Amino acid sequence: MTEETAEFGLPRSRQANERLHAMIPGGAHTYAKGDDQYPENLAPVISHGRGAHVWDIDGNRYIEYGSGLRSVSLGHAHPRVIEAVRRELDRGSNFVRPSIVEVEAAERFLATVPTAEMVKFAKNGSDVTTAAVRLARAVTGRPRVAICGDHPFFSVDDWFIGTTPMSAGIPAATTELTVAFPYGDLAATEELLTRYQDEVACLILEPAGHAEPPPGYLAGLRELADRHGCVLIFDEMITGFRWSEAGAQGLYGVVPDLSTFGKALGNGFAVSALAGRRELMERGGLRHSGDRVFLLSTTHGAETHSLAAAMAVQTTYVEEGVTARLHALGERLAAGVRDAAAGMGVADHIVVRGRASNLVFATLDENRQPSQQYRTLFLRRLLAGGVLAPSFVVSSALDDADIDRTVDVVAQACAVYRKALDAADPSPWLAGRPVKPVFRRLA
């Protein structure tokens, strides 16, 4: 694929996508990876990846962002992680009793996240967030879950999915037990807790998102939770490691009762963690006199190679200053994209947001409203230039040349974006249907 290429096809990827849809509902195992998230007939099917680059089955190489939905923060096939995994593969991956690797992984995690006192590992984020909610309900004896309504995703389980447009199959009685509070608004949250006095088991939220927490906000939530007797849960799936090795709780100095980690924890290997206060976590254990909580019990939760990957990731982050590198790369990229957009007169329409280690972009129309059509146009031009970027979330495997190349491609995309804005109609540049939001009622 050359720099000058504006229109291109992916015939092998297109055929593979048809095969995927014939056998797999949605054509992918994660909705956010579906081909509906990409311009029509331009959803590359990946052959392999190394570092910050991936290759599709049509032979094209891309600079990749948002790798593995933010999970591959060190780059694909990271040598230190792969070496740790290979050591365990020859020793067996799953046994009838805990392996010594589970002891070592728990010790490493609790040393890295010292605000937690106990940890239990699983394979995905939904399992641990749901376990946190179940534990909160058990220890408080309360039915309701309060989620942050401004955060996009918490779990595939009914207590959350019932609140989305894709709520088919979930009883209304289940959904009614989930209520929402706005991020950054302590007064509104207190009003919610007062309205449902003694009914709310927990407050669950991402401690930070595209904007920094308002001063005193997280500490205020901690005080509200204590005063109203509910459990404070931080979903650190994204903020874990990208904000600091100890998560957002380590960076901002506010300790939740429970927290959940995943994504960057395994650098693409399947591992997640529920962590928190011993008093709560032990309710899912054997050393207490109360009713037992079925907290987490997963056949594959302690696979040795995934736990080895997690330990290698934590060691790499600490010893190599990965979080600082992610921020430096993100700052360079954000500055370059903003300059490119400004240079082409679209600075008010292509907007980079978020912490430097977790950048996303908004595509706005001529009225400065979010537009799936303009997102389609932008993604088409990025793909044509060899940039696979559903977001601008960086990995530490990127280098300055990758960033500079990305900015050049963004500038070319912005030039076309400007033409579409001047025409007040992006449709001539779409070559097919626009991309679609993940959460929608109809296919």
Residue 435 phi, psi dihedral angles, 5° rounding: -65, 160
- pLDDT interval class at 7 (50, 70, 90): low
Computed over every residue of the chain, the mean pLDDT equals: 96
Residue 145 phi, psi dihedral angles, 5° rounding: -115, 130
Tokens of residue 33, six digits: 């990876």
The pLDDT of residue 380:
97
**Dist. CA 151–CA 248, nearest whole Å:** 15
What's the average model confidence in pLDDT over 75-84? 98
**Dist. CA 73–CA 430, nearest whole Å:** 31
Kindly tell me if the per-residue pLDDT of 6 is higher than 70.
no
The answer, as to whether pTM is greater than 0.85, is yes
Kindly tell me if the per-residue pLDDT of 4 is higher than 50.
no
Tokens of residue 181, six digits: 């509070």
Kindly tell me if the per-residue pLDDT of 414 is higher than 70.
yes
The pLDDT of residue 8:
76
Give the residue among 389, 402, 395, 390 at the shortest CA–CA distance from 336.
402
**Dist. CA 441–CA 443, nearest whole Å:** 7
**Dist. CA 287–CA 55, nearest whole Å:** 50
Give the residue among 351, 405, 363 at the shortest CA–CA distance from 2.
405
First CA to last CA distance, the chain: 32
The pLDDT of residue 9:
86
- pLDDT interval class at 2 (50, 70, 90): very low
